[in-house]
Amino acid sequence: MSSRSARQQGALASWNDERGFGFISVDGPSSANGAGSTGSGNRTGESVFAHISAFPRRDARPAPGERVSFTVETTNDGKTRARNIRYLSASGRPIRARKSRPGTMSYVVLATFAIAISIVTAIGALPWLFAALYLVMSVITYASYATDKKAAQTRQWRVTESALLGLGLFGGWPGAIVAQQRLRHKTQKPMFRQAFWGTVVLNILVFAILTTALREPVIELFRLIVTATAP
């Protein structure tokens, strides 16, 4: 794998946010301030592959039309891709991207729940098997998110969103939060995010019922409903 040291400039011609990659249209020598001069190996208008991992972190995701500078790397199979991407202003000057801290509130919810389940398990209000179930489901859910992200990048069969939501509903949502933030996956689709947090609220509601004074009235109500509907 080789890398070309000369920085080039261009505009993001296309971007697939779900799959985390796009293509940069390379400038000619006159508009790249010499960065695209002879020896760089790129012609005006040539498209260079760009993966999300090559971009600096910031609050907003990459968008078509944005000006960037980059170096070009040649992989072992002879393909080229952009590396060390920097956002540029309209004048061509680099924009210092803020290092964002995504998912702060998600981690607050996760930490609060972890403390709560540790306390109720320690005092005997909840069998330790419940805590173990959350842990196992979280590991399975994290692995499912990782599999889905890899499938999205390699154009393989995807894990369905309903399956990911179902895993979260049945106790895997802590692992889903970690996967979303660490893998930067499933964090940009509003519909999925809304559905996901709906499963989190529902799961926590059931958890609260099982560990508080609401447990007995709810169980009794459930018994009455079953009795009334039984043939």
pLDDT tens digit at each of 231 positions of the chain: 555 568 899 999 999 887 788 999 998 764 444 444 434 455 556 889 999 888 887 767 788 999 999 999 887 778 889 999 999 876 666 666 555 455 688 889 999 999 989 998 898 878 888 899 999 999 999 999 999 988 877 778 889 999 999 999 999 999 999 999 888 888 877 889 999 999 999 999 888 887 776 667 766 766 777 677 766
Query: Which token pair is 32?
Result: 């790249």
Helix (H) or strand (E) holding 26: strand 21-26
Residue 168 and residue 174: Cα distance in Å, rounded? 8
Query: Which token pair is 71?
Result: 């170096």
Long-range contacts at 75-82 (CB < 8 A, ≥ 24 apart): 75/1, 76/1, 79/49, 80/41, 80/48, 80/49, 81/48, 81/49, 81/50, 81/51, 81/54, 82/24, 82/48, 82/49, 82/50, 82/54
Query: Which token pair is 215?
Result: 């447990």
Helix (H) or strand (E) holding 146: helix 128-154
Residue 63 and residue 22: Cα distance in Å, rounded? 9
CA dihedral of residues 166, 226, 121, 137 (deg, nearest 10): -20
Residue 74 and residue 230: Cα distance in Å, rounded? 69
Residue 211 and residue 124: Cα distance in Å, rounded? 10
Q: Which of 167, 147, 168, 171 shows the shortest CA–CA distance to 159? A: 147
Handedness of CA 52, 14, 188, 140 (dihedral sign): negative
Residue 124 and residue 23: Cα distance in Å, rounded? 56
